Amino acid sequence: MIQEILQREKFAKENGLQLSGHVLGVVKRALTGKEEIVIDQVNVISDDLKINMRNTMNTNVDFALDNLQATQVAQAALSASLNAKDGLFLFDNSGGETIDDGLAFMASAVHPTDPAGAAPYYRQWQGVYQNLTGVTELSTEVHIGHSYTHGTGIEPFGSSSFGLYAEAVYATVTLLNNDIITINWKITVG
């Protein structure tokens, strides 16, 4: 059985049939107006996203992310009004995981599949967050998730939850007051 699974994985990889993700993060500095690339990496795609993409291939939903959060919502404003929302979520785990890890829902948008209709096929999500807190914030990871449920505290601790589809962990990004971070997350099939 294990040998059969390994053969399937080898076949998928050799024939470009696996899902792969690429995350590019750019910060526009408020003080200088300069833009800098702070994240540029391949990331792991959760089995949950693979399963939901498979299940929604012939339905009118956006790869199981059909309830995107359209505006940014910072930690202090997270509430039950966000329940069932999908999208990109910024985290700060730089001091070890705590109840305050969740920074914000990013203002999220989905870009269509390859307009040329040529392989490889992809879908791209974009999230934007501007630090309007008046203090320096740190970010160490971003998640694509679904079905936010608000409770006491922020996922991964407390009773709030956010179903994980994919995550990218990176070196600490410092966001000064009014800095804007834009995350472009491209998931490719084949």
Give the pLDDT confidence score for residue 186 in this predicted structure.
Answer: 85
Local mean pLDDT, 10-residue blocks, the chain (190 residues) = 52 56 93 95 78 64 73 83 88 65 80 61 84 90 87 63 85 94 83
Q: Work out the end-to-end distance of the chain between its first and last CA atoms, rounded to an integer number of angstroms.
A: 25
Q: What's residue 11's pLDDT?
A: 46
In what side-by-side order are the strands of the sheet with 73-74? Answer: 73-74, 102-105, 87-91, 137-149, 161-175, 35-45, 19-28, 180-189, 121-130, 107-111
CA 143 – CA 131 distance, rounded (Å): 18
Task: Look at residue 113 in the predicted model and tell me its pLDDT.
Answer: 60
To the nearest 10°, report the CA torsion of 60, 148, 37, 24. -30
| Residue boundaries of the structural domains of the chain | 19-189
What is the pLDDT, as a whole number, of residue 34? 97
- Structure token pair of residue 117: 């209709």
Instruction: Supply the pTM of this predicted model.
Output: 0.77
CA 125 to CA 123: how far, in whole Å? Answer: 7
